[in-house]
């Protein structure tokens, strides 16, 4: 693709339905834009309708610029097929409402890109009583995936779920009794560790899902986009050592802009070479082995059970059976 190194040239049609959480900003924005420019229909799921509409108009303008440059691999349609649906992962009621809205409008879903997240957030609890990084980064997406899987299973071949994790998972610990940080105060809350925990859980979820989806058309993978200069960094601007680390990374060229960070996600989502790939953890577009903690099957299944317990209000036995009895 001219001017877009490392992006696959994949013609997509508007009957290819793509859902991107947090698709209005950062790597989610770039991913939504480029997949839409390949021809797919993209649904941006985020909190702010105004910000989503502004993002969509910006995408359209940049699409027209790419067409004027003669960029290879993009579609020839007049307008991108991108729309907004409201989703606040910090509210499980919002997730449930989103799912009902989606089901009322859509009969297919081919790509589910779980990208939205927050990082290094101070200790805070959602309206549902969960530590906010646990819910926004992991549990809200867990509910979303579980409820939308039946649609994906009926959407034809090569349906993919990609969970945007982070190498911060390497800072994690696994103790579900402390998963909500109740033993911490705001002053001694370990923000990096709990962010890392939420990213570990996403990788573990990947393994749990693939065990259940082995004989189906749906694959699940996870990615680390790199150190990307995006809005997610706003949550740790007050953490002195991390602010310094980030600035040094920028100075020595180790940080990426959102487009560079999106390349790994876009490839995992649409590259034909990755069809039927499962349990892959991509970092800089290369498959790496997750660490032994993330690969621990006993702990993975303990997390699965814990997550189902957390979502008892929202997941009926038949919802769970649709996955467990495949």
Query: 257 is written with which tokens?
Result: 């802009």
**314 annotated active-site:** no
Question: Which of 276, 86, 29, 265 has its CA nearest to residue 162?
Answer: 265
Per DSSP, the three-state class of 270 is: helix
Report which secondary-structure segment, H or E, holds 258. helix 258-270
Question: Kind of pairing, strands 286-288 and 281-283?
Answer: antiparallel
Determine which one of 138, 169, 195, 201 is catalytic: 195
Handedness of CA 300, 306, 311, 315 (dihedral sign): positive
| Residue whose pair of structure tokens reads 């660490």 in the numeric block | 291
All residues at 6 or more sequence positions from 187 whose CB lies less than 8 Å from its CB, including other chains: none
Residues sharing a CB contact under 8 Å with residue 65, sequence separation 6 or more, in sequence order: none
Residue with tokens 């004989």: 215
Count the neighbouring beta carbons within 10 Å of the beta carbon of residue 16: 24
DSSP string spanning 172-221? ----GGGTT-TT--TTT--HHHHHHHHHHHHHHHHHHHHHHHTTSSEEEE
> Would you please indicate which residues are annotated as catalytic (active-site) residues?
195
């Amino acid at each position: 693709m001219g001017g877009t190194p490392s992006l696959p040239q994949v013609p997509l049609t508007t009957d290819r339905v793509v859902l991107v959480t947090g698709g209005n900003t950062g790597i989610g924005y770039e991913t939504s834009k480029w997949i839409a420019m390949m021809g797919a229909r993209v649904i941006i799921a985020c909190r702010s309708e105004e910000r989503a509409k502004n993002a969509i108009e910006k995408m359209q303008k940049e699409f027209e610029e790419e067409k004027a440059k003669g960029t290879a691999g993009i579609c020839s349609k007049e307008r991108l097929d991108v729309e907004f649906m409201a989703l606040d992962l910090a509210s499980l009621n919002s997730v449930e409402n989103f799912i009902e809205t989606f089901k009322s409008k859509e009969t297919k879903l081919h790509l589910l890109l779980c990208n939205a997240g927050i990082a290094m957030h101070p200790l805070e609890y959602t309206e549902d009583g969960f530590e906010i990084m646990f819910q926004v980064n992991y549990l809200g997406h867990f509910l979303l995936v579980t409820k939308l899987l039946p649609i994906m299973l009926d959407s034809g071949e090569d349906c993919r779920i990609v969970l945007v994790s982070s190498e911060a998972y390497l800072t994690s610990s696994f103790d579900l009794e402390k998963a909500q940080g109740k033993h911490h105060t705001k002053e001694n809350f370990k923000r990096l560790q709990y962010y890392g925990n939420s990213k570990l859980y996403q990788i573990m979820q990947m393994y749990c899902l693939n065990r259940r989806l082995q004989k189906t058309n749906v694959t699940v993978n996870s990615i680390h986009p790199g150190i990307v200069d995006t809005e997610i960094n706003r949550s740790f601007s007050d953490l002195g050592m991390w602010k310094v680390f980030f600035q040094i990374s920028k100075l020595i060229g180790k940080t990426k802009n959102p487009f560079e960070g999106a390349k790994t996600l876009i490839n995992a989502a649409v590259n034909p070479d990755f069809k039927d790939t499962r349990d892959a953890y991509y970092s800089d577009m290369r498959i790496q082995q997750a660490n032994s903690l993330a690969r621990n099957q006993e702990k993975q299944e303990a997390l699965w059970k814990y997550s189902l317990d957390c979502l008892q209000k929202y997941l009926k036995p038949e919802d769970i059976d649709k996955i467990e009895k495949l």
